[in-house]
Amino acid sequence: MFILPIRTVPGKGAIENMNRLYQAIYTQENRFQGNIKNYIKEIIKK
């Protein structure tokens, strides 16, 4: 459980902050597992 100071009022901003936090944790946990897949996805996007 993470307790962070959220400056924005509850709403879209707070939801985006939580999504960024979740994405950061998910990326760190799966950094080695998904490194190659993410690299390929970035190439496909370009």
What is the pLDDT confidence band of residue 10, given thresholds at 50, 70 and 90? low
pLDDT of the residue at 3: 62
- 30: DSSP letter: T
Cα–Cα distance, 18 to 34 (Å, whole number):
21
Average pLDDT of the chain to the nearest whole number: 72
Residue 44 reports pLDDT greater than 80: yes
Residue 15 reports pLDDT greater than 80: no
What would the mean pLDDT of 14-40 be, rounded to a whole number? 75
pLDDT of the residue at 1: 53
Q: Comparing 2 with 46, which gets the higher pLDDT?
A: 46
